[in-house]
Amino acid sequence: MKIIETAIPDVTEENLDEKKIELANVIISSFEPLLAEIHVKKTREEKNLSSEIEVNKERISKEKVEIQSLLNEYEKEKKIRKTLEAVSKVDPVKLEYNRSLKNEIVVFLRIMEKLSLEKVSSYLQDIIKTSNKNS
């Protein structure tokens, strides 16, 4: 194929800017549907990820509360075990002579499951002090 050069321009200087704008519009119009489709997909993904994040936050919050309650229960059981160990170390002969300590221990053993962790700790300290005084 032979190319022939002529002095007739395809585009005149007067409409050069218009032709550039038309060419840009053609290029944009060919890519616009692709960009719009990609934008819609990304928007959907973003919404899905946002909803997943909210669900995970709620799940984590519930699990945190459950773990905290289990930890509190464990601490209470640990204090109760220490209390029972302290009570088991009390000499039964001395316990017979100290009726108030015996009554206090009996009452405490009956209600310790219902008490808060702070009260169990307080009673534990009292029993240890009293048993150490009697030892």
CA distances (Å), origin 25, targets 4, 83, 132: 30, 84, 93
Decide if 89 is inside a domain. Answer: yes
**Average of per-residue pLDDT across 100-118:** 74
The answer to whether position 85 is within a domain reads: yes
CB 86 within 8 A of CB 127: yes
Asked if residue 88 belongs to a domain, the reply is: yes
53: confidence class by pLDDT, cuts 50, 70, 90: very high
CA angle 72, 76, 117 (to 5 degrees): 85
Residue 13 in any domain: the answer is: no
Give residue 97's pLDDT band: very low, low, confident or very high (50, 70, 90).
Answer: low
* Of 37 and 107, more confident: 37
Mean pLDDT of the chain: 80
Q: Considering only CA atoms, which of 72, 78, 91, 85 is closest in space to residue 133?
A: 91
pTM over 0.85: no
Domain that holds residue 129: 20-134
Collect all residues with Cβ–Cβ distance below 8 Å to 112 and sequence separation of at least 6.
Answer: 80, 83, 120, 123
Answer with the residue of higher pLDDT: 44 or 83: 44
pLDDT at 62 over 80: yes
Burial label, 8 (beta-carbon count in 10 A; 0-12, 13-18, 19+): exposed
75 pLDDT higher than 70 = yes
Write down the pLDDT at residue 76.
Answer: 79
Query: Is 69 a member of any domain?
Result: yes
Highest mean pLDDT among 25-29, 64-68, 74-78, 107-111: 64-68
Domain tally for the chain? Answer: 1
